[in-house]
Structure 1
Amino acid sequence: MPSFPPAAPPLVPTPSLSDPHQTTRPPASSGIPAWLPQALHAFAFRDYRLQWAGAFTSSIGSWVQQVAQAWLILDLTGSPFYLGLDAFLGMAPMLGLSLVGGAVADRFDRRKLLLFSQAVQMSSALTLALLVGLHVATGLPLVYAILALSFLTGTAQALSGPAYLALLPNLVPQPFVAQAIAGNAIQFNLARVVGPMVAGLVLARFGAATCFALNALSFLAVMAALATICPPQQIPATPGPSWRQEIATGMRYVFGDRVRRRLCFLATLTTSLGVAVPTLLPQYTRIIWHGDEVLFSRLAACSGLGAVTGAIVVATVAKKAQSLPLILATQAALGLCMLLLAATGWFWLACLWLFIGGALLVATYALVTTCFQQVVADDMRGRAVSLYMVCFRGGMAIGGLLAGSLAHWWRVTAAFGLAGLGLALASAWAFLNWRVMTFPSARPDDG
C-alpha cells in the first residue's frame, strides 16, 4: 500500500473553516496557475505530484492484489467469514501499533520509516506469489499463509501509516492541505477503478500469483517517489521520559478536545459499518448474481468509479464543506444507500447503488480526515494521527469481522442492511444531540 508525509508552517494565512464564503482563489504569491481548477491546486507543487504519481501506481497494484486475494480466499474456503477474518487481520495491528507508530513518526525521519514499510509490504506480496505457485504445483495449504501475510502487511502499515498521514500536509502549503488530502483520496480511488479491472483480466488469464507479483513491482514506484521528494525539515517532538508518556500525551491531546474526539468517533462509525460492502462484495457477486471473478472486478470498479467521483467533489468544495451537518448528512445518505443495495433485485440498480455508495463512503472519509488534519498542531501530528488511525482502521478491522460473521451465519444482504441502518440511525442521533460545531485550525501550542 502507498505511504504518508510531515507538516510545514503555513506559507499563506489559513482561511477560517467556519467561514464558507471566504475566497478560495489562490494568491499570486502562492505559485498556483490561475487556470488550474481548484480541486487540483495541490498539483502545482512538485513534491506532491511525485508522491501522488508513486502512490497511484502502488495503489493500482494494491487493488489488483486485494481483488485477487479476496476471490482466492472465497475459492479456497467458500465462506464469507474468512473474507471478514482476512480484513480483520489486515487492520488489527492498527489497534495497538499505530500508537507506537505515531510516537516514532514524531521522533524519527518519516521518509525512512515509509521506505522500510514499503520494502516489508513488497516482500510480503512476493512471498504470497511464490506460495500460490507452490499451491498450484503441490497442493500446499494456503489459507492460513494468506491470513498470516495479511497480518504482516497490516503491521507494516500500522507502524508507518501515521508517518504517511503526517508527511502529506508537508508537501503543500497549509491552505492547500484540504486539496492534497482529497487529491490523495482521488488517486487511491481512481486506482479502485483501474486495479479491479486489471485484476479481473489478469486473474482470469494468468492466475492469482501474477496479480501478487504485479503488486510487488508496484511498490518500486512509491519507493522512488519517497527517495526523490524534498519535504521541509521535520520538527522533532521534544522527547518525553518514555514512549508510554508520549502516547498518553497524544491521547490527552486528542480525546481531551471535543472537536477531535467527535471526529474520531465519526471515523470509527463510518469505517466499522461502511466496510461491509467492500469486504463482502465477492460473496455478494457469487451468491446474489452468480458471477465469476470478472463480474466481481467490474462491480468493484463500479464502486471505485463512484469513489473517484466523491473524492473529486470533496476536492472541489473542500474549503466550503467542512461542517458537522454535511458530514452527518453524507454519512446518513451512505446508510440509506446500503439499505437500498441490500433490497434491490435488479442488477443495474445494484450497480447504481454501488456507484453512489462508493462516492458517499469516500466523501465521508475525506471530509472527516480533512477536518481532523486542520485541528491538529504539527508538533503533535504524528501522535494525533496515529490515534485517528486506530479509530479509522480499527473500525475497519472490527466491522469487517462482524460483517463476515453475519454473512456467514445469516446472509450477505442482511449484513449490508443492518450496517446501513446503523449508519443512518447513528447519524440522526448525532445530528439531534450535538450542536453544530466549526473546525478552527490548530495553533502550534494547541492542546
Structure 2
Amino acid sequence: MGQPHHHAQRHAHSRCHRRPRHPADPPHQPARPAAGFPRPRRRARRTCTNGGRFERVASSPVRPSGAASAADDDTPQRLFNRHFLLLWQGQTVSGVGISLSQIATVYWLLQETGSATTMGLVSMAAALPGVILGPVGGAIADRYSRKRLIVIGDCLLGVAALCLGFAFLAVDGAVGAKVAALVVSGVLTGIVSSFFRPAVMASIPNLVPTTRLSTANAMNSFSMTASMGIGTAIGGVLFRLLGAPALFLANGVTYLVSALSETFIRVPQTLPQAPPSMRALFSAFVSDVATGLGHVWNRPGLRNMVLAFAVLNLVSAPTGVLLPILLDQHRGLAPDWFGYLMAAMAAGNVAGMAFAGVVRIDGPARLAYGLTALFTMAAATFLIGVAESPYLLLAANAVNGVFMGIMTVAFTTLMQATTPDELRGRVMSVMMTVIGGTVPLAMGLAGVLADAVDQNVPLLFMAAGALTACVATVVGCNRPFREFIGTRLLGA
C-alpha cells in the first residue's frame, strides 16, 4: 500500500521547500542584459512543482565563460581594467587631433581674415549646439547604449574632420567658402559632441571601483589634457610647415583610431524599458530631461555650483579667442608661441590632475582648494594682461592649468558620486549645458568687444581677472555652495 495522501503532500513539500507566492509579491521580471554585453545563455535545470514532481524548466541566465555581469562590473575590483584603459586610450589619441584642429582654425582665421569678430562667431557656432541639445544628449545617454553612442560619435566626428580637410583642399583660395566650411563642420561637431560627451562622462563610474573614481577622473582628464598639450606644443610649428588642411585631416584620423579602440569596451548599464510608441518615446524623453533639470534645480548647493561655473566660463572663455591676438599683435610672437603657452597650460593641468588623483581632496578640503584655485586663477589671468615677457606668460598659463586640473577632478568626482546612476547622464548633460551654455555667448562677445576697443586685448585680460576674483568672493560667501562643495564622500 502507498503512503496516505497527507504524507505524500508533506513529503513533496520537504523535497521542494517552496513558499507559495503571496498575492502582494511583485511579478517576476527577467533582468535585461547590460548594454554592450552578449545575451546570456539559459541552462535547463530540474525544479519541483506544487505536486511534488520534477520538471525541466529554464533556469536563470548563465554567463558565458569570461563574461562579466552588469552587477559585477558595477563594482569592479581593479582600476586598470581593460575596458577603462581602452576608453582612456581612445580619448588620449583623439585629444591630439582636437588640439591640432583648434590651432589650425584659430591661426587660419587670424591670417586670412584678421577679424576678431569672425573668430568669435566661428567658435560660437561650434559651441551653440551643445547648449541646445545638451539635456537631450544626457537623456539619450541614460536610455540607450553608452558604448554605441561613444563609438558612433567618434566615427561621425572623424568623418566631419576629414570632410573639412578635403573641402579646404578642394576650394583653394576661396576664403568665404572655407569660413563657411569651418562653420558647418563646427556645428556638426557640436551636435555629435552633445551626445558623445555625456555618454563618456556617465560611463566612467561604471568602469572603475567606487573608491578609485577620483583617480579615474584624474586619469581621463589627464589623457585629454596631456594629448592636447602635445598637440598644441607641435601644432603651431605644424601649421606653419604643413598648413591647415593637413591638421584637419590628422584630426579625422585620430577620431577613427579612437573609435576602433572603443569598439572593444563593455560598459555595464541598466537600460529602461523601451516605450511602446514614438509618442511614448517623445514623452519619455521630455520626462527624462525634466527630471535631470529638476534634480539640479531642487538642490541649492548643486544649482549654485553649476551657475557659478557658468559665470566663470562667461568670463574666462574669451581668453582662448583673444590669446592669439595678444601674442601676434601686442607681443610680436610667432604662432609657435601660442602652442607653447597652451602646452604650458596643459602641463600644469596634468600636474593638477595628478595631484588631485593622488591626494585625497574631500569635504572641507575640497572647498579650500576650490576657493584657493579661483583666486589664484584670477591673479594669473590679470598677469597675462600686463606681462611683457613670454616666459611670464608661460608661468601664468601653467599656474592656471594646475588649479584648473585640481578643480576639474575634484568637482567632477563630486558630481558623479552624488548622482544616482540612472540620472547621471542627464545631470552631467545639464551641467555641461548650463556651464557650456555661456561659451557661445562669451566667444561671440569676445570678438565684438576686442574690435570695439580697437583690439586692446591686454585690457580685456585684466578685466577677466578682476571679474574672476569677484565671482570667487560671491561663491565663497554663499552657504549652500559651501555646504555642497564640502560634502564628504563615502569611500571616495
What is the deviation of 1:253? 1.1
Whole-angstrom CA distance in 1 between matches of 2:160 and 2:166: 10
Amino acid at match of 2:440: A
1:406 to 449, 457, 466: 449
Report matched runs for 1:56-205 at 5 Å. Answer: 56-136=92-172, 141-205=177-241
Does structure 2 retain, via aligned residues, the 8 Å contact 1:406–1:412? no
What is the deviation of 1:134? 2.5
In structure 2, the partner of 1:23 is none
Asked if residue 378 in structure 1 is aligned to residue 421 in structure 2, the reply is yes
What is the deviation of 1:311? 1.7
2:394 to 334, 339, 351: 351
Whole-angstrom CA distance in 1 between matches of 2:205 and 2:433: 19
2:470 to 388, 404, 425: 425
Per-residue CA distance 1:263-283 (angstroms, 9 max, x = gap)? 212331332222232232211
Are residues 351 and 76 of structure 1, via their aligned partners in 2, closer, same or farther at CA, if it must alter by over 3 Å? same
Are residues 66 and 169 of structure 1, via their aligned partners in 2, closer, same or farther at CA, if it must alter by over 3 Å? same
> Would you say how many aligned residue pairs link Structure 1 and Structure 2?
411
Whole-angstrom CA distance in 1 between matches of 2:375 and 2:211: 29
Whole-angstrom CA distance in 2 between matches of 1:114 and 1:259: 30
Amino acid at match of 1:424: A
In structure 2, the partner of 1:279 is 321
Whole-angstrom CA distance in 2 between matches of 1:363 and 1:84: 28
Asked if residue 252 in structure 1 is aligned to residue 305 in structure 2, the reply is no
Asked if residue 267 in structure 1 is aligned to residue 309 in structure 2, the reply is yes
In structure 2, the partner of 1:304 is 346
In structure 1, the partner of 2:45 is none
Does structure 1 retain, via aligned residues, the 8 Å contact 2:90–2:259? yes
Are residues 366 and 407 of structure 1, via their aligned partners in 2, closer, same or farther at CA, if it must alter by over 3 Å? farther
What is the deviation of 1:235? 4.0
Whole-angstrom CA distance in 2 between matches of 1:55 and 1:90: 20
Tell which deviates more after alignment, 356-365 or 416-425. Answer: 356-365
Does structure 2 retain, via aligned residues, the 8 Å contact 1:274–1:361? no
Q: Give the 3-state SS of the residue equivalent to 1:345 in structure 2.
A: coil
Whole-angstrom CA distance in 1 between matches of 2:318 and 2:479: 26
Whole-angstrom CA distance in 2 between matches of 1:135 and 1:308: 39
Q: Give the 3-state SS of the residue equivalent to 2:476 in structure 1.
A: helix
What is the deviation of 1:421? 1.1
Report matched runs for 1:1-40 at 5 Å. Answer: 30-31=77-78
Whole-angstrom CA distance in 2 between matches of 1:372 and 1:124: 31
What is the deviation of 1:227? 0.5
Q: Give the 3-state SS of the residue equivalent to 2:172 in structure 1.
A: helix
TM-score by length of 2: 0.78
Whole-angstrom CA distance in 1 between matches of 2:176 and 2:168: 8
Q: Give the 3-state SS of the residue equivalent to 2:295 in structure 1.
A: helix
Are residues 139 and 428 of structure 1, via their aligned partners in 2, closer, same or farther at CA, if it must alter by over 3 Å? closer
Tell which deviates more after alignment, 113-122 or 178-187. Answer: 113-122
Are residues 324 and 95 of structure 1, via their aligned partners in 2, closer, same or farther at CA, if it must alter by over 3 Å? same
In structure 2, the partner of 1:295 is 337
Q: Give the 3-state SS of the residue equivalent to 2:177 in structure 1.
A: coil
Query: Which blocks of at least 5 consecutive residues in structure 1 are unaligned?
Result: 14-28, 32-41, 443-447
TM-score by length of 1: 0.85
What is the deviation of 1:219? 0.9
Per-residue CA distance 1:397-447 (angstroms, 9 max, x = gap)? 2222222322222221222222221111111122123263132559xxxxx
Does structure 1 retain, via aligned residues, the 8 Å contact 2:356–2:410? yes
2:435 to 385, 392, 395: 392
Per-residue CA distance 1:139-182 (angstroms, 9 max, x = gap)? 66311221221111111101222111111211101111111111
Asked if residue 369 in structure 1 is aligned to residue 412 in structure 2, the reply is yes
Tell which deviates more after alignment, 49-58 or 364-373. Answer: 364-373
Are residues 318 and 64 of structure 1, via their aligned partners in 2, closer, same or farther at CA, if it must alter by over 3 Å? farther
Does structure 2 retain, via aligned residues, the 8 Å contact 1:237–1:380? no
Does structure 1 retain, via aligned residues, the 8 Å contact 2:142–2:423? yes
In structure 1, the partner of 2:487 is 439
Does structure 2 retain, via aligned residues, the 8 Å contact 1:98–1:161? no
What is the percent sequence identity of the aligned residues? 24
Does structure 2 retain, via aligned residues, the 8 Å contact 1:263–1:372? no
Q: Give the 3-state SS of the residue equivalent to 1:142 in structure 2.
A: helix
Tell which deviates more after alignment, 128-137 or 327-336. Answer: 128-137
Q: Give the 3-state SS of the residue equivalent to 1:186 in structure 2.
A: helix
In structure 2, the partner of 1:18 is none
Whole-angstrom CA distance in 1 between matches of 2:295 and 2:72: 21
Query: Which blocks of at least 5 consecutive residues in structure 2 are unaligned?
Result: 1-35, 37-69
RMSD: 2.5
Q: Give the 3-state SS of the residue equivalent to 1:439 in structure 2.
A: coil
Are residues 84 and 314 of structure 1, via their aligned partners in 2, closer, same or farther at CA, if it must alter by over 3 Å? farther
Are residues 385 and 334 of structure 1, via their aligned partners in 2, closer, same or farther at CA, if it must alter by over 3 Å? same
In structure 2, the partner of 1:24 is none
Does structure 1 retain, via aligned residues, the 8 Å contact 2:312–2:471? no
Whole-angstrom CA distance in 1 between matches of 2:387 and 2:416: 38
Whole-angstrom CA distance in 2 between matches of 1:399 and 1:361: 19
Whole-angstrom CA distance in 1 between matches of 2:204 and 2:332: 42
Are residues 327 and 279 of structure 1, via their aligned partners in 2, closer, same or farther at CA, if it must alter by over 3 Å? same
What is the deviation of 1:390? 0.5
Larger Rg: 2
Per-residue CA distance 1:8-38 (angstroms, 9 max, x = gap)? 779899xxxxxxxxxxxxxxx944xxxxxxx
Are residues 197 and 433 of structure 1, via their aligned partners in 2, closer, same or farther at CA, if it must alter by over 3 Å? closer
Tell which deviates more after alignment, 289-298 or 380-389. Answer: 289-298
Does structure 2 retain, via aligned residues, the 8 Å contact 1:267–1:365? no
1:234 to 264, 270, 290: 270
Does structure 1 retain, via aligned residues, the 8 Å contact 2:340–2:394? no
Q: Give the 3-state SS of the residue equivalent to 1:141 in structure 2.
A: helix
